[in-house]
C-alpha cells in the first residue's frame, strides 16, 4: 500500500475525484483514508476509472464509519453500478468503469450543495469560534514584558497565525456558500474547488500545517529542559488522545452527549496525567533550581556586586529571557534573611517598547484591596553618567486629588534602551548611594561590555 499526504476540504470534491482518477490511470486505487489526510492506495492495473465523492448530509460526523446511514447510501450507489472504495466520516468514495449510461451519484445540485454546507458549516462555526478565542487570548496576554519572552512571544505568534488561518478559511467557505446560494437562485452551476485551485490551496494549507508543527516543536524547547520535556509529553499525549478519539468514532460512533462526556473526561484525565508528569519531573530533579547559579556572570547584578559575602540562599526567583525585541532579567534573591536584592531589567532598542515597559512598571496591580486612586509616581533624583536615577513612590489620593499616603516603592534607573527597577534591603557595608552607583555603572551605555 502506498500512502499519500493531502489536505482536502469538502469544497474540493471535484479535485478529489480528479486526483483519484489520475492515480487510477497510474495504477493506484484509493482504498483507505486515515486521519482525513492520509490516503492509502493499492497497486492495480492502470485503468480508466471514474470516481464520485459523495457527502451524506443527514449523517453525523460522530457516526461510526459503517453506520446505518452510510451503509444504506452505499447500497443505493452500488445498485446503480458504482463500487464503494472507502470512506472518511461523511465522505463516501465510489468508482466505476467508464461506461455510457452510468448515472452520476448526485443529480440534484441543490441537494448536493445543501449536504456539503450542512457538514461544512459545523467546521466553519467551530474554527471561527476557536479563531476568535485564540486571537483574544493572544492579545489578552501579550503585554510589553511578554514581547521580551521568546516563549510567550512564540506561542502568541503561533496562536495569532492559527487564528488568522482559521478565520480566513471560514471567510473563504462563507464566500463559497453565498456564491452557491446566488448561483442556485440565478440558475447557474455551483462552483466547487477544482484540481488546479486545490493544488494551490492544498499545498499552501499543508505547508502551513507543517510550519505550525515545526513552530510547535520549536516552542516546546524554548526555555528550560524541564518545560521542553513537559510540553513534549503533553503534545504526544494530546496526539494519542486525538487518535484514540478518531478511532473510537470510526469504529463505534457517538451521540453528541456521549462525545461530550468522552471529551470532557479525556481533558480531565489529561490534566491529571500532566500534574503527575509535572510532579515526577520535579521529584526526579529535572525541575529543581540547583542548575541556576545566582552569582552567574550573565546577571546584570548579583549580591556579590554589592560586596555581600557568600551565604545560604533563603529563596530565589530567577528568570532570564530574550526575544527579537530585546531581553529581560528578573532577579529576586533573599540571602539568609539579611540581604535581599531584587530587580527587573529590560534592554531593547525599540523606543516604543521601552515606553510601554515603563508604562507597565508604573501601573499598579489592581486588587480588591486597592483604592481607586492609587498610582505610581516617579521623582527624579540624580544622574550618574548617562543613567537617570529616580525614586518610584506608591501614592494614594482622595477624589479631590489630595495625597493620603505615599511611600517608597523602588528605584528606577534608565538610560538609552535600558531600564532597571531595583530594590534592595539589608545591612550592606556600602552606602545606598554607592549601591545605586554600582547599579548605574552596570546599565550605563558608556560602560563597556554591559547589558545582557
Q: What does the binding site for other proteins look like in residue numbers (CB under 8 A)?
A: 52, 54, 56-58, 71-73, 75-77, 79-80, 82, 103-108, 110-112, 114-115
Q: How far is the CB of 176 from other proteins (least distance, A)?
A: 19
Q: Is 451 left (phi over 0), alpha (psi -120 to 50) or beta?
A: left
Q: Which is nearer to other proteins, 77 or 152 (CB)?
A: 77
Q: How far is the CB of 62 from other proteins (least distance, A)?
A: 18
Q: How many angstroms separate the CA atoms of 32 and 366, rounded?
A: 57
Q: How far is the CB of 43 from other proteins (least distance, A)?
A: 29
Q: Which is nearer to other proteins, 72 or 416 (CB)?
A: 72
Which of 131, 200, 195 is CA-nearest to residue 169?
131
Q: Which is nearer to other proteins, 73 or 205 (CB)?
A: 73
Q: How far is the CB of 57 from other proteins (least distance, A)?
A: 6
Neighbours of 378 (CB within 10 A): 16
Q: Which is nearer to other proteins, 56 or 152 (CB)?
A: 56
Which of 81, 91, 21 is CA-nearest to residue 56?
91
Q: Is 111 left (phi over 0), alpha (psi -120 to 50) or beta?
A: alpha
Q: How far is the CB of 104 from other proteins (least distance, A)?
A: 5
The CB-based long-range contact list for 216-223 (8 Å cut-off, 24+ gap) reads 216/158, 218/154, 219/151, 219/154, 219/155, 219/158, 222/150, 222/151, 222/154, 223/150, 223/151, 223/321
Residues whose CB falls within 8 Å of the CB of residue 9, separated by 6 or more in sequence, listed in order: 120, 169, 173, 193, 201
Q: How far is the CB of 71 from other proteins (least distance, A)?
A: 6
Q: How far is the CB of 83 from other proteins (least distance, A)?
A: 12
Q: How far is the CB of 89 from other proteins (least distance, A)?
A: 16
Q: Helix-strand-coil percent breakdown of the chain, rounded to 5? A: 45, 25, 30
Q: Which is nearer to other proteins, 74 or 328 (CB)?
A: 74
CA dist list (Å): 431 to 323, 372, 434: 36, 36, 5
In the block, cell 477624589 appears at: 399
Q: Which is nearer to other proteins, 105 or 392 (CB)?
A: 105
Q: Which is nearer to other proteins, 106 or 394 (CB)?
A: 106
Q: How many angstroms separate the CA atoms of 449 and 452, rounded?
A: 9
Q: Which is nearer to other proteins, 54 or 253 (CB)?
A: 54
Q: What is the DSSP string of 388-431?
A: EEEEEEEEEE-TT--EEEEEEEEEEEEETTEEEEEEEES--SS-
Q: How far is the CB of 150 from other proteins (least distance, A)?
A: 52
Q: How far is the CB of 102 from other proteins (least distance, A)?
A: 10
Q: Which is nearer to other proteins, 61 or 80 (CB)?
A: 80
21 sits in which H/E element? helix 13-25
Q: Which is nearer to other proteins, 107 or 368 (CB)?
A: 107
Q: How far is the CB of 74 from other proteins (least distance, A)?
A: 9
- Per-residue burial over 229-252, b if 16 or more Cβ lie within 10 Å, else e, is bbbebbeebeeebeeeeeebbbee
Q: Which is nearer to other proteins, 114 or 304 (CB)?
A: 114
How many angstroms from the chain centroid is the CA of residue 41? 34
Q: How far is the CB of 60 from other proteins (least distance, A)?
A: 13
Residues whose CB falls within 8 Å of the CB of residue 230, separated by 6 or more in sequence, listed in order: 274, 277, 278, 281
Q: Which is nearer to other proteins, 76 or 247 (CB)?
A: 76
Cell (9 digits) for 428: 550592606
- Find the largest Cα–Cα distance for the chain: 100
Amino acid at each position: 500500500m502506498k500512502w499519500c499526504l493531502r489536505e482536502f476540504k469538502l469544497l474540493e470534491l471535484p479535485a478529489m475525484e480528479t486526483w483519484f482518477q489520475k492515480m487510477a490511470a497510474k495504477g493506484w486505487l484509493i482504498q483507505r483514508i486515515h486521519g482525513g489526510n492520509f490516503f492509502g492506495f493499492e497497486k492495480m492495473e492502470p485503468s480508466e476509472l471514474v470516481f464520485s465523492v459523495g457527502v451524506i448530509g443527514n449523517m453525523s460526523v460522530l457516526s461510526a464509519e459503517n453506520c446505518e446511514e452510510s451503509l444504506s447510501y452505499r447500497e443505493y450507489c452500488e445498485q446503480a453500478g458504482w463500487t464503494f472504495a472507502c470512506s472518511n466520516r461523511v465522505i463516501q468514495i465510489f468508482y466505476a468503469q467508464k461506461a455510457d449510461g452510468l448515472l452520476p451519484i448526485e443529480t440534484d445540485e441543490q441537494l448536493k450543495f445543501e449536504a456539503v454546507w450542512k457538514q461544512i458549516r459545523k467546521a466553519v462555526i467551530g474554527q471561527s469560534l476557536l479563531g476568535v478565542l485564540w486571537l483574544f487570548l493572544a492579545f489578552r496576554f501579550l503585554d510589553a514584558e511578554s514581547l521580551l519572552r521568546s516563549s510567550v512571544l512564540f506561542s502568541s505568534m503561533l496562536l495569532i497565525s492559527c487564528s488568522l488561518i482559521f478565520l480566513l478559511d471560514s471567510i473563504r467557505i462563507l464566500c463559497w456558500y453565498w456564491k452557491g446560494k446566488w448561483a442556485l437562485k440565478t440558475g447557474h452551476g455551483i462552483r466547487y474547488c477544482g484540481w488546479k485551485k486545490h493544488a494551490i490551496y492544498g499545498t499552501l494549507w499543508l505547508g502551513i500545517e507543517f510550519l505550525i508543527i515545526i513552530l510547535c516543536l520549536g516552542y516546546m524547547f524554548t526555555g528550560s529542559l524541564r518545560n521542553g520535556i513537559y510540553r513534549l509529553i503533553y503534545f504526544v499525549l494530546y496526539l494519542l488522545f486525538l487518535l484514540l478519539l478518531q478511532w473510537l468514532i470510526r469504529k463505534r460512533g457517538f451521540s453528541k452527549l456521549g462525545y461530550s462526556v468522552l471529551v470532557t473526561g479525556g481533558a480531565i484525565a489529561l490534566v491529571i496525567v500532566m500534574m503527575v508528569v509535572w510532579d515526577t519531573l520535579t521529584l526526579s530533579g529535572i525541575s529543581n533550581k540547583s542548575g541556576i547559579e545566582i552569582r552567574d556572570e550573565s546577571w546584570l547584578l548579583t549580591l556579590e556586586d554589592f560586596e555581600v559575602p557568600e551565604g545560604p540562599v533563603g529563596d530565589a526567583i530567577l528568570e532570564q529571557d530574550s526575544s527579537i525585541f530585546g531581553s529581560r532579567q528578573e532577579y529576586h534573591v533573599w540571602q539568609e534573611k539579611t540581604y535581599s536584592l531584587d530587580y527587573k531589567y529590560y534592554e531593547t532598542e525599540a523606543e516604543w517598547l521601552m515606553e510601554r515597559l515603563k508604562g507597565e512598571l508604573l501601573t499598579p496591580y489592581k486588587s480588591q484591596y486597592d483604592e481607586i486612586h492609587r498610582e505610581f509616581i516617579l521623582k527624579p533624583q540624580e544622574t550618574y553618567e548617562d543613567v537617570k536615577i529616580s525614586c518610584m513612590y506608591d501614592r494614594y489620593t482622595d477624589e479631590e486629588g489630595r495625597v493620603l499616603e505615599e511611600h517608597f516603592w523602588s528605584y528606577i534607573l534608565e538610560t538609552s534602551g535600558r531600564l532597571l527597577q531595583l530594590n534592595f534591603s539589608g545591612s550592606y557595608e556600602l552606602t545606598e548611594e554607592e549601591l545605586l552607583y554600582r547599579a548605574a555603572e552596570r546599565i550605563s551605555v558608556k560602560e563597556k561590555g554591559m547589558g545582557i
